Every structure is written in C-alpha cells, then in structure tokens.
Homo-oligomer: A and B are copies of this chain.
Amino acid sequence: MTAEAAQAPTRFVPGGFLFVLSGPSGAGKGTLVDHLVRLRADCIFAISSTTRPKREGEADGVQYRFVTREEFEAKRVQGYFLETATVHGNLYGTPANEVDEHVRQGRVVVLDVDVQGGASVRRARPDAVSVFVYPPSFDALRRRLEGRGTENSDAVERRLAHAPAELAEWRTYDYLVVNDELEAAVERLTAIVDAELARVRRLDAGV
C-alpha cells in the first residue's frame, strides 16, 4: 500500500442533527415521532420543560421537567429555550443547551412542534433538518382532532380554521411527508434520517 493510500480515510462518523417535525394540529406528528424514536436508537427526544401538573406515573426529568410558571418565565427570559408553546394554558419549552449537547454527541434530536414553533426553531437553528407532516385530507384532519376527544367542538373548529394558513407553510420546509398511512410515513421519515446521516457535509473522516 502506498503512503497516500494509507492516509485515505477508512471510516466515516456522521454528526448529529436537529430533526424538526412540524405541521398542523391533527396531522399526526406526535404518533410519527413516537414511532421513530422507538424504532431507532440514534433518534432521541429532547425533554421539554412544562408548567403543566405532573400526572400519575410521570417522573420529573423523564417525560418532562416540571417547573413552576415563575421558573419557566425566568428561564425564558434568559434564552434558555429553543422554542416555547402554550397548550391549554400550560407552557412548554425545549431547552436549547440540551438539544445542542445531544447534537454535538452525534445524536438525531427529534422535535415535534406546531407550525409557529417550527418557524422559530428553524430561525434559531438554520442547520436543522425540517419535515412538514401533511394530513392526507382536510377531512382526515377533522376526524383526528374530533377523535382525540380532548377538546370541545369550539376548540376543534378553531384549530381547523387555522389549518389552511398552517398548511400553506409546507414550502418553507426541507421535506414533506404525507401522513396517509402510519407505517409508510414512518418509513419515509426513517429514509430521511438515513439519507441525512449519509450526507458528506455531516461526515467526520478517520483513518
């Protein structure tokens, strides 16, 4: 073997990245993300902070970090969160330093955020890989929102009224996945993760 050949890299280690899934409420991104993280050891959730009360069976630092509204607001002011959202009056936020640290360690950090959150995360982390999860139809969106049974019909109508404007945001994302059939949609997400991990600009070469 020549000296040059000996210097050619023989292994390539992909760096991690932030994987943002967004889309209208009812598109089914939560279920997709759950499946993706369960299927792949290299994909993890970032643990969010929330002001919502801890439920039976939940532990601090596992599903969420449970904080008071005052703690949350203080952290928000310090720029602790990559993005925040209000759901049913409770605050949720993704800790920026945690996400960045996992990415540095080579992990794919999966974020499931609403369309507004998606826009702010992509502004804050332009190197994030973003997927717009698109519902197979407007009727499917309605069925999923009604099927949840967690909201009254006024809330469902309000969400549906937002949907057209939210759907129009698809063009600003890197990828689009139509969530027509769960298994097929998870496979498409998996393909995107695999492809991104094979991107030359993400590879660190070693001899």
Contact = CB atoms under 8 A, between A and B. Distances in A.
A191 B190 CA distance: 8
Interface stretch (A87-95, A145-153, A197-205): A197-205
Interface residues of A, number: 45
Contacts of A132: 200
A10 to B, nearest CB: 6
Contact of A2 (B7, B161, B196, B199): B161
A175 B14 CA distance: 11
Contacts of A56: none
A174 interface: yes
Contacts of A5: 138, 160, 163-164, 167
A154 interface: no
A188 interface: yes
Contact of A195 (B10, B161, B194): B194
Interface string A152-195: 00000000110111011011111111100000000110111011
A4 interface: yes
